[in-house]
A and B are shown apart, each in its own frame.
Chain A
């Protein structure tokens, strides 16, 4: 237990004191010992965790480069849809409470702000684009969310189904977004 606390403080102080070390300390195993239930770990597990700690120590000491990842890896449908799910999720999690809190604080109700936007007489193309931007996250995240729920039951995991469902989800999300923008 003490070793765990010491190790976690070690990482914390590294972050505070040395900015350059921030990147390398990010790669340090933060309390690898905390992971496995130390009291129940077998001898094999002990050897394994010792090897892991030696790995990080050796590679930091030798200052080996890290092979390129984001800039060289192919954007696949799998990773791009997953990224979209995360991005739309974060976008909504940030803007919805922010807008709600702002509207609470500002004078007048939200219909007066709609009037204000109407009075700006913006190019309708800009308004439509803005509507798309607002409608897409909720549509995409909701529909892909159903795909994620199916995965939670281990349904639809084979590659063919994953790709088919992926294309279907994206197409349906765009369709529903267009429906919201043009029909409502």
Chain B
């Protein structure tokens, strides 16, 4: 009886706290004259979930409610919590907290983006660039009243071409990891948008491939890509935007641009 009591009391002894430091970028637009700075928080990993997003939510709930960041699905499918963690762009909900208690984890917003507050960047330019490539199916058979009458058939081989392209969640990790996009985000479209442009070019159901390629015929939209390949390295979904851009460049070299110009201006 006594030994049993000793065993159960030993089992409920509290574990020693594992304190991890998080250094987070802070900037408040409401504070006049405020400069961006780093603020360090200490989190007990024993009472925290395994991902960086868990730590951020814990900090916001228990220590500092003013900490501001985007988040939604917490499972790596919505793309809201993209940020720079430990020097690389990734999704906070998929990034495991580094167990090394001796080092602080540094958290910054996505690089070279205008900051709205703390870890929240202004994504409007990124979304506008996505809109500019017309990311929807365009058919040439004219009449709108026939839409929905028939299925647009596609072979399994043609459908397979979309694998690795359609899974993009537009988190912007890749585009904001690209130094070329840092220096030219006004005119260079960036890996994410270019991969989606390629996704529509290569879709067998879309009839506007030549026109889509012709839209890229200038010095900046595609050709600021210098195959640095930071994009593929950082993609949290394991996709390959660098390859998609390479394929676009190949298509641009091979397609008939004069014919496309005539089609586009018709």
Residues on A facing B (Cβ under 8 Å): 27-30, 32, 34-37, 39-40, 42, 44-45, 47-49, 51-52, 54-56, 59, 62, 64-70, 72-74, 76-79, 82, 86, 148, 151-154, 157-159, 162
Contacts and interface: CB of A to CB of B under 8 A. Distances in A.
Contact of A48 (B88, B128, B218): B128
A70 B211 CA distance: 36
B134 A45 contact: yes
A55 B27 CA distance: 20
Contact of A64 (B122, B125, B217): B122
B230 interface: yes
A56 B229 contact: no
Contact of A55 (B86, B109, B122, B134): B122
Contact of A67 (B108, B217, B247): B108
Contacts of B110: 67
A149 to B, nearest CB: 11
Interface residues of B, number: 58
Given A82-B227, A154-B250, A48 B111 contact: no
13 contacts: A35-B218, A45-B134, A51-B128, A52-B128, A52-B132, A66-B115, A72-B84, A72-B106, A73-B88, A74-B87, A79-B228, A154-B247, A159-B229
A159 B132 contact: no
Nearest to B244: A157
A81 to B, nearest CB: 9
B215 interface: yes
Interface of chain B, main secondary structure = mixed
B82 interface: no
B87 A67 contact: no
B179 A79 contact: yes
Nearest to A86: B226
B113 A66 contact: yes
A157 B246 contact: yes
B232 A159 contact: yes
A66 B228 contact: no
B243 A157 contact: yes
B124 A48 contact: no
A156 B229 CA distance: 12
B242 interface: yes
A34 B218 CA distance: 9
Nearest to A28: B186
A151 B232 CA distance: 14
B255 interface: no
B249 interface: yes
Nearest to A34: B218
A175 B7 CA distance: 64
Interface in B199-256: 211, 214-215, 217-218, 220-221, 226-230, 232-234, 240, 242-243, 246-247, 249-250
B111 A69 contact: yes
B214 to A, nearest CB: 7
B111 A73 contact: yes
Given A47-B131, A76-B230, A154 B187 contact: no
- Top-3 shortest CB links A-B: A74-B87, A48-B132, A51-B128
Given A42-B134, A69-B111, A162 B232 contact: yes
Contacts of B41: none
B88 A74 contact: yes
B186 A159 contact: no
Nearest to B35: A65
